Amino acid sequence: MKEETSEVLYQQAHKTFERTLQILKEDKVMVLPCDTIYGLCAKMGPAEQKIRELKKRDEGKPFLVLATIEQAKQLCDVPKIISDAWPAPLTAILNSKNGGTIAIRVPSDPFLQAIMESLGSPIYSTSVNESGYQSLTNIMDIILTYKDRVPAFVVDSNLQGTIPSTLIDVTSTPYNIIREGKYDASGLVEKSKSL
């Protein structure tokens, strides 16, 4: 999966939005700031296999999906207490309208929201690492490690965090926190006990 020279784009720069949109429309994988940590991202659909190859991840483990609230509601049955909590660094495992489940998050980052609206599609997002290895959160480490593997990196001049989103399973009640992260979901778990 050798790529040509990777581009380093700055989120606040004038042409970054259009270039990011172009790369995602071409079903390529790129690194984006995901309002929690940096992620390997691609448009939902055929690019899933490319992310699997980069991550060396087996077929059975799905990727988190970033979506606008409207896209999330098209894909999943979204309980009101989750839609009221979004946008936030909260990933919810929801029942998909096509059967099965999807781990989905509505990020609060305006850049990502605008990208997904213009793309007309949610995007896959996963931590920047190979399966079984620690996530890379420093953009310089990410660029050095992935410079020959992805066509572009979008750098956010606002410092990205090192804490991922909180992961909560809302497919049954009471809700279950799978991974503690940037969002305090304890209130959601309490509310779910009365559903």
pLDDT digits (tens, 9 = 90+) for 181-190: 999 999 999 9
Torsion sign over Cα 89, 70, 75, 58:
negative
pLDDT digits (tens, 9 = 90+) for 81-140: 999 999 999 999 999 999 999 999 999 999 999 999 999 999 999 999 988 888 899 999
**pTM given for the model:** 0.93
Is 11 in contact with 155 (CB distance < 8 Å)?
yes
| 33, 79, 116, 159 from 110: Cα distances, Å | 11, 23, 10, 15
Name the one residue in this structure whose structure tokens are 């098209």. 74
pLDDT digits (tens, 9 = 90+) for 151-178: 999 999 776 678 899 999 999 999 999 9
Count of other CB atoms within 10 angstroms of residue 115: 22
Exposure letters 42-80 (e unless 16+ CB within 10 A, then b): bbbeebbebbbebbebeeeeebbbbbbeebbbebbebbe
Q: Which domains does the chain have, with CATH numbers?
A: 7-192 (3.90.870.10)
| Beta strand 123-127 pairing with 38-43 | antiparallel
Measured N-to-C along each axis, helices 16-25 and 110-119 cross at an angle, to the nearest 10 degrees, of 50
Please name which of 166, 129, 109 lies closest in space to residue 39, comparing C-alpha atoms: 129
List 113's β-bridge partners, or say none.
Answer: none
Q: What are phi and psi of 92, to 5 degrees?
A: -115, 135
Is 91 in contact with 108 (CB distance < 8 Å)?
no
Average pLDDT, the chain: 93
CA 144 – CA 32 distance, rounded (Å): 15
Joined tokens for residue 87 = 């946008």
